A and B are shown apart, each in its own frame.
Chain A
Amino acid sequence: MKINFPHRQFAHCESGVTANLLNYHGFPCSEALVFGIGAGLFFGYVPFIKINKMPLTTYRIGPGGIFKKATRRLGIEIRKQKFSSPAAAEKELDRLLASGHPVGAQTGVFWLPFFPPAYRFHFNGHNLVIIGKENDEYLISDPIFEEPVRCSTIDLRKARFAKGALAPKGKIYYIEKMPQQFDLPGAVKAGINDVCRVMLKTPVPLAGVRGIRLLARQLAKWPGKLGEEQTILHLGHVIRMQEEIGTGGGGFRFIYAAFLQEAAEILKNEKLLELSSNCTHIGDLWRDFALLASRVCRGRAAVQDSFDELASLLRQCAVEEEKLFKNLHGAISC
């Protein structure tokens, strides 16, 4: 059985899944719009949470957040379930598919056979939509890929019950009821306000603009503190978090700039167009950072000099982002 689910390829898994689900349920929208309403943009540098023994650096909010916030702000009723047993998880999934529901699921990338081998790491925050089952295979719409893919029952079971950080515990989610009408401008404003708040007014120095400054300070100390080998590994880790499949480039800053263009039209606010191009500029800065960092990793640039330059690029990102979100907050408050 296969649900007639229009598959569209997008940059990021969770906002792509949400956009495709909303589209299926009769609310055509772009990935960027969902990303903005769901307030997906973020920055966090958390040295005491380790991924692969290296500090967590993130450019987006935690898994599940975009779907949750975007649907809540649009007044859509959703249902989420987690399971303790794989058998129960599979039974419920099959039941939902049989009743014609496309089902979103959180999975571990390591176990998904359709991923390019080079990308298969233990990352458990990957989202996809299950759209059918044929014999022993599930049919999957994974927004990262050009076409729908297939995955054997056994592989999907392992992926849904991946272990370690962010273990999905078989998590599935789906849309139960769409509202009669949407307050789109209200949802867009709420999304923008949310991002401005987390980027500017965070109580902890690890998040938002303060997090970027913290990374700049710490990164400048890496060569002296960690030694060359570890320094280069840490730097590579930051690049991967920023540019790995699913960010749309520039650590989600370009997706957000695309959202601001759409928001300008929805809110009839010309100022947002200008801010969108500022956001594009910020994405370009992050790309410059990644490019220089990768040259250091490859040994093409001298380590100490480059680290001063890398730190100053980060500070520039922080300054520009602070300006952007202050202006953004001002632009939608009036």
Chain B
Amino acid sequence: MKKEDVPQQGGLNAGCREVNYAVDGDGHYTLEQSVGWEAKNIALRQAWTVIIDQLHQVLAEIRAGQKSPLAYHMIKAQMDPQLLAQYSGIARWRVKRHLKPAVFHKLGDPALAPYAELFGISVEVLREVPDKPDPLLAELDSSEER
């Protein structure tokens, strides 16, 4: 890659610049800053779109009474029951039970505290879900018409 070809296509970098290696006019390598590249922005947007789609889906399931609010917060944190179990210290079979609305609604604050602490929210917030997914990325929500 030549120095003048270092891409400057921003969008998802939130003001950060990263270093690319490129060759200058004399054929020597230099470090050049870049705000981003289209190819990788596409791949990154795609990964986030998957997460946002999952959030829409899980919200519909919660409204239909098939899943508990914990499922929404879990997916928002890009976790699955196994990872959530490892983080919260609660056994996976119990995490899976907590994803059922009937079980979840009977849980007291102490039982939910490990989840709330992990996600950095209060137990009250954990018990609720928004009508539509929280905006995860300002850049993504404004730049992509979905």
Contact = CB atoms under 8 A, between A and B. Distances in A.
A280 interface: yes
Nearest to A244: B40
Contacts of A254: 1, 20-22, 29
Given A146-B16, A248-B21, A298-B42, A287 B1 contact: yes
B16 A240 contact: no
A105 interface: no
Contacts of B139: 118
Interface stretch (B43-51, B92-100, B123-131): B43-51
Contacts, number: 117
Nearest to A11: B19
Nearest to B18: A245
A245 B27 CA distance: 24
A233 B50 contact: yes
A191 interface: no
Contact of B20 (A119, A244, A249): A249
B29 A32 contact: yes
B86 interface: yes
Given A233-B50, A240-B47, A283-B1, A164 B86 contact: yes
B39 interface: yes
How extensive is the interface on chain A, given as a class?
Answer: 35 or more
A250 interface: yes
A243 B12 contact: no
Which of A52, A118, A164, A254 lies at the interface centre, i.e. has the most chain B CB atoms within 10 A of its CB?
A: A118
B83 A248 contact: no
Given A118-B140, A291-B39, A293-B39, A249 B1 contact: yes
B64 interface: no
Interface string A48-81: 0000100000000000000000000000000000
Given A145-B16, A243-B37, A32 B46 contact: no
Nearest to A240: B43
A112 interface: no
Given A110-B78, A244-B40, A122 B83 contact: yes
A258 interface: yes
A10 B19 contact: yes
A257 interface: yes
20 contacts: A11-B19, A118-B13, A118-B14, A118-B140, A144-B18, A146-B16, A163-B83, A236-B47, A239-B39, A239-B43, A240-B44, A243-B43, A245-B18, A249-B22, A254-B21, A258-B21, A277-B27, A287-B1, A290-B39, A293-B39
In order of increasing CB-CB distance, the 3 nearest A-B pairs are: A116-B14, A258-B29, A254-B21
